[in-house]
Amino acid sequence: MTRLLRGGPWLAAVILLFAACFHEAFLGEQFDFRDAAHFYYPLYQRVQMEWEAGRWPLWEPEENSGMPLLGNPTAAVLYPGKLIYAALPYPLAARTYVIVHVLISVVGASLLARNFGIGWAGSGVAGIAYAFSAPILFQYCNIIFLVGGAWTPFGLRAVDRWIRGGRRSALVELAIVLALQVLGGDPQSAYFVGLCAGGYALGMAYARNRAGSPARRGGVGRGIVIGAIAIVVWVGLVLAAAAILPGLRPPSPRPPTPTFAWSPWVSPAVMAAWAIVGLLMLRGYRRGKGLACTLLPILIGLAVAAMLAAALSAAQLLPVMEFTSLTSRSADEGSHDIYPFSLEPVRLLEFALPNVFGSTTRGNHSWVSAIPPSAVHRIWVPSLYAGGTTLILALAAFGFRRAEPWRGWMSGILVLSLLGAFGEFGSPLFWARGIPALESVIGPRDPENTNAIRMDRHLRDGDGSLYWAMSIALPGFQGFRYPSKLLSLSLLAMAVLAGAGLERLLAGDGSRARRGAIALLVLTVAGTSIVTLGRSFVLERLRSFESASGFGPFQPEGALEDLTWAVIQGLVVGGSTMLIWMLARRRPGTAGALATLVIAIDLAIANAPTVLTAPQSEFDAEPKYLAVIAEAEKKDPAGGPFRIHRMPIWNPAGWALEPSPDRVLDFLRWERDTLQPKYGITRGVEYTYTQGTAELFDYEWFFGPFDQPVTPALAAQLGKIGTHERIIYYPRRGFDLWNTRYFILPGYTVWTDVERGVASLLQDADPLYPDPRRFTGPDRDEQIKKWLRDEDIQIVRNRNFMPRAWIVHQAWFKPPIKGLSREQRARPMEEMTFADDSIWRDPNRVVHDPRRTAWIEDSNPGPIQQAIMNTRAHSDEYVRIVSRDPQRVELEARLVENGIVILADTLYPGWKLEIDGKPAPILRTNRLMRGALVEGSPQPHRLVYSYDPNSFRVGRILSLLGIAFAFLGFAWSYRSDRKRGMAAP
């Protein structure tokens, strides 16, 4: 009963927060905004459709001409938590899945705090402060990161139980947690847990090795001096490298090597360095002295847990690794940009004041872009707020000197994860480039839309940062992106330290908490004075800032209102924390209950508005423009399957000019109506090219835009462009080849803009929507302006689209391309996609007709050449698709003479072919299509493609073995722990 009463405030706080954040979801509305709506809702529904059809969800034919579904890490196909979708109707399951993982976050952070010996009050605070902090709560928009964050506390708890407590059963627990994170779609969170474990192991081994040694005098001062010298040296080295290295790189017409892999020996050198470290550690262990004796057994245990986790998740992990190895993330010259969504240091103010830079959910009130440098702001989460009281209590427990091992560990995680989250802003190079005098020496800041590389051979802005160092030194880390994802570790460490700080306060050690509360009060009193007494001045400054986005024009009055409420809420929180400090001296129980409720109310007010929902009916409605395409097909059927291409990112032009009472709902309706991927995949829509977390490297080559010079004739044809400009060109032939019948494009075109430069896609195309006859009468121009402002969409039908399958009798034979090199692919891909149209013209190139000729890669082309030599097409030959489902395609083909039957679906490991019931080789045709050599015959042939990947078959076996080892390992380790008196959690 006493424990129940003691847990009453915590239970009330949890109920309050769930009600405040999820009441609309409880009432039947669906989570909306960003990836929650257009990415995960249809993707997970597509997975469930496969389960309901009685198939393993292995392949998805609706995107990118077919791509793996099990191998897509974001699909989380085999994650046990997805059983929720099997037990409940899909709309309810989608909501429940989010809410359950927030609850797991609460429980996990609370248990982690309890594992560190923090009392019930502090553990409860840790749970709610972590789960309902803005960076964690907002991940309902990106559910795989919420899943990873939910299991992270359990992973760190298992790490501590092994390293500090020596419990062998904790290794099995750790393996299960890591496997759940991988299966849940967030292998990066598992990587983070491993990094934290490695750092903790090193720190604990050093502490144990130093135990009993006399303390060094002046250790703190010496450490500060050494750290300062190291920073100065590092800054000098980075700036020197930025000045010298570009001159050492030879100019090339091809894109240069990415800056995190300046030469081919970098990766081997890093691996060699790790091997040397391992050998030195092994040598020290064999000698029986030094740090290695303590550290190596701990690391071996962690390695065993990692291997068991890999085995448990192998059924999904192996297909994911297979897919990732073929995407741009594994490109030889470098992968994607690793710096997007870096955290601006100025945003650390959001830890203390909620929404201090304004919000966008009730209009465009955000003024963070007004803070220089204004061109680099990309927001990962709308706020960093975890509660002002949480911040004060965390700082009260933060520290390394004379701290418990776990407290030093949490403090280290907090510092390093924040520094890593800064991304490019953590590099001295970024800040030095803000000094005009240095630009000529070290280069200017990154141009807008810079990807993994800079074409001018200069270092990237973020090179030299902690995140850059991690991508260099840690194997596999460069495959990740978004530095702000490290904030999940920052918030977990802050929440646990806040729990420890509350326990200190309740135990009578509240001096640091009092100073923190006073500091917050001083900050908010000053802020309140500025926004009240200087209201006119602040409003004038805000009005001088001009900005517009899809949320509408910037609203300075709304920004000032948000700023005012931020400082007022901070003032109330600071005063409440002072009250908690005063109560703790006489009535600690009341103070603990008050602290829990203050944090809960604070978080509910500040962060609940970030959880956005929409009526379920909006998700169930038929997309408006899908009906336009269906009507067009009734009038003029394609005669077979076809694909559409919807330009990925644009909003109606008028949205930047006019505010909306609910722009988030506007986003949902417009994106769904216009079939933004992935909204159509559950309705039979097949997309030519969609952009997600990763795409096949070879496939992207068919559609990647580049610029072309504008000739006088082209300028006259297009209008709105001068001959001195360069036009954006999307390789039209690529879309034709891949069976693209319809284009859904922006209505307002800007030929030089990568999102609206669709000139090549409008050529040889018939307009379907809007009907050109719609704009008539004397107000025709006004009608067109209204259409561009409110709808901003046009749909055209491609006259040059090629069928899903066709027959050729001629071929260009190429040697197989090894690896993922850009240099090897440039020439053959240009040959395939060059059509010598009015935009991409080159008299020195030869135009090939892909309807007559195929590009075939084969190491032994002789038999194929011999088989089709001197053959020709006949009018009565044909190929048609008889039946198809996601993992099986059946074709019927009749050829008078030998030929190549081409299927415009992606060639991917695991696809097998049978011709007339006999296995046959699949020819790599047109770089990524499936080709088959078919004999001429009076009778039609039956071609059957089926998907049966070896990666899944091997992975299933490994996962079954992993489950068996996990059961046996846990039974043995638990028994061993009991004998050693360590079974208690």
Tell me what pLDDT residue 12 has. Answer: 92
Say which residue, 549 or 682, is predicted with more confidence.
682
Which of the residue ranges 172-181, 448-457, 660-669, 971-980 would you say has the lowest mean pLDDT?
A: 448-457
If you average pLDDT over residues 771-797, what whole number do you get? 87
Is beta strand 643-646 parallel, antiparallel or unpaired with respect to 740-746? parallel
Overall average pLDDT of the 381-385 stretch: 92
pLDDT reading at 443 higher than 70: yes
CA pair distance 159, 167, nearest whole angstrom: 10
What's the pLDDT band for 2 if we cut at 50, 70, 90?
A: very low
Average of per-residue pLDDT across 430-451: 83
Q: What is the CA radius of gyration of the chain?
A: 30
Helix (H) or strand (E) holding 924: strand 923-925
Nearest 5°: the CA angle 562, 565, 571 is 145
Local confidence band at 266 (pLDDT 50, 70, 90 cut-offs): low
Angle at alpha carbon of residue 810, lines to 804 and 815, rounded to 5°: 95
- Percent over 90 (pLDDT), the chain: 63
**Could you report the per-residue pLDDT of 612-659, keeping only the tens digit for each?**
999 999 999 999 999 999 999 999 999 999 999 999 889 898 888 888
Q: What is the pLDDT of residue 333?
A: 58
Q: According to the model, what pLDDT value does residue 376 have?
A: 54
Average pLDDT, the chain: 89
Beta-sheet strand order (sheet of 929-934): 805-808, 899-906, 929-934, 923-925, 853-857, 810-814
Give the pLDDT confidence score for residue 984 in this predicted structure: 45
Rounded mean pLDDT of 449-464? 77
Question: Which among 465, 482, 471 is positioned nearest to 340, based on CA atoms?
Answer: 482
Asked if 45 contacts 82 with a C-beta cutoff of 8 angstroms, the reply is: no
Question: What's the average model confidence in pLDDT over 842-862?
Answer: 92
Percentage of residues in the chain having pLDDT higher than 70: 94
The dihedrals phi and psi of 913, each to the nearest 5 degrees, come to -130, 140
Contact assessment for residue 599 and residue 576, using Cβ atoms and an 8 Å cutoff: no
3-state secondary structure 222-245: HHHHHHHHHHHHHHHHHHHHHHHH
DSSP result, 664-733 = HHHHHHHHHHTT-TTTTGGGT--BS---SS--BHHHHTTT--EEEEPPHHHHHHH-S--TTSEEEE--HH
| CA–CA dist 239, 657 (Å, integer) | 42
**pLDDT reported for residue 170:** 94
pLDDT-wise least confident of 531-540, 683-692, 758-767, 903-912: 531-540
Structure tokens at 305: 């847990």
Q: What pLDDT, on a 0 to 100 scale, did the predictor assign at position 772?
A: 80
Contact 699, 904 (CB under 8 A): no
Q: Looking at residue 778, what is its pLDDT?
A: 84
pTM greater than the 0.75 cutoff: yes
Q: What is the pLDDT confidence band of residue 4, given thresholds at 50, 70 and 90?
A: very low
- Kindly tell me if the per-residue pLDDT of 263 is higher than 70: no
Tokens of 285: 């262990």
260 pLDDT above the threshold of 90: no
Please give the pLDDT value at position 241: 86
What pLDDT, on the 0 to 100 scale, is given for residue 254?
A: 46
Predicted confidence at residue 780, as pLDDT, reads 84
Neighbouring residues of 155: CB distance < 8 A, sequence distance ≥ 6: 174, 177, 178, 181, 190, 193
Q: Which of 148-157, 696-705, 972-981 has the lowest mean pLDDT?
A: 972-981
Give DSSP secondary structure letters for 6-46: HTHHHHHHHHHHHHHHHHHHHTT-EE-STHIIIIIHHHHHH
Token pair recorded at residue 733: 């032939």
Predicted local confidence at residue 261, as pLDDT:
38
pLDDT value at 976 more than 60: yes
**pLDDT grade for 270, boundaries at 50, 70 and 90:** confident
For the cut 60, the answer to whether the pLDDT of residue 869 exceeds it is yes
**Once rounded to an integer, what is the mean pLDDT over residues 854-858?**
94
Q: Please, what is the Cα angle at 154 between 149 and 157, to 5 degrees?
A: 130
- State residue 480's pLDDT score: 83
Whether residue 171 contacts residue 301, with contact meaning beta carbons closer than 8 Å, is answered with yes
Lowest-pLDDT range of 5-19, 361-375, 564-578, 689-703:
361-375
Distance, CA of 70 to CA of 18 (rounded, Å): 32
Judged against a pLDDT cut of 90, whether residue 371 lies above it is answered with no
CA dihedral 385, 357, 353, 363 (to 10 degrees): -70
pLDDT tier, 543 (very low <50, low <70, confident <90, very high otherwise): confident
Classify residue 332 by its DSSP letter: T
Query: Which tokens sit at 109?
Result: 């952070």
Residue that has been written with the tokens 């954006």 in this structure: 728
Instruction: Identify whether the C-beta of residue 317 lies closer than 8 Å to the C-beta of residue 957.
Output: no
Close Cβ partners of 888 (under 8 Å, ≥ 6 residues apart): 944, 945, 946, 947
pLDDT of residue 545: 83
Q: Which amino acid is at 148?
A: G
pLDDT digits (tens, 9 = 90+) for 811-821: 999 999 988 87
Span 110-135, pLDDT tens digits: 999 999 999 999 999 999 999 999 99
Per-residue model confidence (pLDDT) at position 213: 59
What integer is the mean pLDDT of 392-421? 93
Which of residues 61 and 382 earns the better pLDDT score? Answer: 61
pLDDT score recorded for residue 413: 96
Q: What is the pLDDT at residue 822?
A: 77
- Residue of 635, 637, 639, 669 whose CA lies nearest to 652: 669
pLDDT band at 985 (very low <50, low <70, confident <90, very high): very low
